[in-house]
Amino acid sequence: MTGVIEIRKDIALDPAVAPILYRSKTITATTLSCIDASRTWAGGGKTAGYSVGDLIKDLTYNDKSATVRGTAVYDGGGVKYTTTAPAAGSPLIDLPDTFFLASTCKKVLLNLWVKVPAVYDAQATAGPRMIIGVAKGAAATPTASSANCHVGVLYTCNSAGSLATLQLNAFGAQVSSNALSAVQAQAGKVVHLALYAYANASNKVVFRAYVNGVAFADQVTSTDWSVPTGANSRAVVGNKGVQTGFDIAYTFYRAMINDLTSSTEDVATLVANEYNAYKESFS
């Protein structure tokens, strides 16, 4: 259905959040922000393309929005860009400040839905292409350094413009993900990529990736946990600000971030719920 009313039946609410019926069925009390490009807000029935300055309402109850910075077509539930800059604006989406982590956050979960073609950069220049980045630092473009990142996902391409390394960022640390082959196998398809990062007992940053609900082994880094700070901040979908002039062909559908520091919620269950709820929603 379309319109301002959304009817959902037979929903079992978590007792901890029973008074709240969220605008998206996988949002919980730990969700900081949820941006879904397939709707201007829940039940909105989005069908047309996007223009410079269009807002995508946060589906939590924080009255925030993401801002579309460039003209883009509406593609199967998402915002689609090519490697050529749009007719107007910049090929990225500014996320609300609710994507930034609190200084006390030690466990973060990012659920991300995107589609990236097998050849996503025809400019024949190897290097990182940011899918999503949330960072604070002293530099004018804080997302350009993993040491500044609260959370982020980068596709590093080879000279043919195809995925060579999947880089995951969180808490100022970075790993080359062991989920690379699984993501490569999803080239040109909608993929649900979940990133869980946390500080272990030794205060080192640990990464766990999920691809379409399937977990990969934890990767322990040598980087001490921290939540980066600085005068400059950026929360964005798209590559602008990493390497000026190098865009990435992609379709962005949905991103949700949770602070699980004080939560007893099971990460695998949260990821599975997200995947099962939306695996048929985008194309």
Is 199 a domain residue? yes
In the block, tokens 């989406």 appear at 93
| Distance of alpha carbon 267 from alpha carbon 101, whole angstroms | 18
Confidence (pLDDT) at 39: 65
Q: Is the CB of residue 141 less than 8 Å from the CB of residue 116?
A: no
Confidence (pLDDT) at 42: 52
Is 23 a domain residue? no
Q: Which residues of 112-125 are buried (b: 16+ CB within 10 A; e: fewer)?
A: bbbbbbeebbebee
Confidence (pLDDT) at 119: 79
Q: Is the CB of residue 254 less than 8 Å from the CB of residue 37?
A: yes
Confidence (pLDDT) at 40: 56
Is 19 a domain residue? no
In tens digits, the chain (283 residues) has pLDDT values of: 444 455 556 656 555 554 455 567 899 989 999 999 886 555 455 677 889 999 988 988 888 999 999 998 888 888 998 877 788 988 899 999 999 999 999 999 999 999 998 877 666 678 888 999 999 999 999 999 999 999 999 998 888 888 999 999 999 999 999 999 999 999 999 999 999 999 999 999 999 999 999 999 999 999 999 999 999 999 999 988 777 667 888 999 999 999 999 999 999 999 999 999 999 888 8
For the chain, how far is it from start to end, CA to CA, in angstroms?
18
Q: Would you say the C-alpha torsion 282, 131, 181, 108 has a positive or negative sign?
A: negative
Count of domains observed in the chain: 1
Is 207 a domain residue? yes
| Distance of alpha carbon 83 from alpha carbon 241, whole angstroms | 15
Is 90 a domain residue? yes
Q: How far is CA 160 from the centre of its chain?
A: 25
**CATH number, domain at 140?**
2.60.120.200
| Distance of alpha carbon 105 from alpha carbon 127, whole angstroms | 30
Output the six-digit token pair for 167: 């880089």
In this structure, are strands 78-81 and 232-237 parallel, antiparallel, or unpaired?
Answer: unpaired
Confidence (pLDDT) at 2: 47
Is 151 a domain residue? yes
Confidence (pLDDT) at 19: 47
Is 144 a domain residue? yes
Tell me the residue range of the domain where 165 lies: 34-186+193-278
Confidence (pLDDT) at 179: 98
Confidence (pLDDT) at 41: 52
Is 224 a domain residue? yes
Mention every residue, 6+ apart, whose C-beta is less than 8 A from residue 28.
14, 17, 22, 258, 265, 270
